[in-house]
Amino acid sequence: MAILYIVLGIVLVLILWIISLYNGLVKLNNRTKESWSDIDVQLKRRHDLIPNLINSVKGYMTHEKELLEKITKARAGAITAGEAGNITELGKLENQLSGMLGKLQVAVEAYPDLKANTNVAQLMDELSDTENKIQASRRFYNGMVRDFNTKIETFPNNVFAGMLRFTKYNFFEVEDANERKNITVNL
């Protein structure tokens, strides 16, 4: 009879541990999804700002027409990838868009009349603020991915996480090696 109680106790502890593991994985999974949603919100904000900025800048920047067209095309591609749920493609296109927006900010600096335009200045400030929020959201997302992936990869969690159908997330990474290079600023 004592052996039966010991076996039942072990089974009960194992069941409670699996329930706790499952609930912890669900919590981390949902927080990771939420952190991706935060990135998505900031990307939407940036996508909404870009047409206003492009329209404000178009009249001044005739020489940078090609850059403005590339930004518009990259924005459209990123929106399409986001709507399709293709996170890898979205990350690649958003990284390209970030690089082009950086070039636009440098180009705006070259036009004193444009720089003095309050609409453009306000939009550039908003865009800069949004870029900072996107970077913060990416860091938070990557932290959540790290925590979630660590939890499902450590023993004995990895045995049960696979059975419970939890899979790893991919980090939001810089795809283009050019984005890792230092930017040269000539004054």
- Asked whether residue 4 is assigned to any structural domain, the reply reads no
pLDDT class of 176 with cuts at 50, 70, 90: low
Contact 144, 63 (CB under 8 A): no
Q: What's the CA gap between 38 and 9, in Å, rounded?
A: 43
Q: Is the pLDDT of residue 10 over 90?
A: yes
- Asked whether residue 187 is assigned to any structural domain, the reply reads no
- Asked whether residue 8 is assigned to any structural domain, the reply reads no
- Asked whether residue 121 is assigned to any structural domain, the reply reads yes
pTM: 0.66
* Structural domain harbouring 143: 21-180
- Asked whether residue 5 is assigned to any structural domain, the reply reads no
CATH number of the domain where residue 30 is located: 1.20.1440.20
- Asked whether residue 59 is assigned to any structural domain, the reply reads yes
Digit-coded pLDDT (tens) for 26-82: 999 999 989 988 888 888 888 888 887 777 776 666 667 777 888 888 888 888 888
- In the chain, the number of structural domains is 1
- Asked whether residue 105 is assigned to any structural domain, the reply reads yes
Digit-coded pLDDT (tens) for 84-140: 877 778 888 888 888 888 888 777 777 766 665 677 777 778 888 888 888 898 899
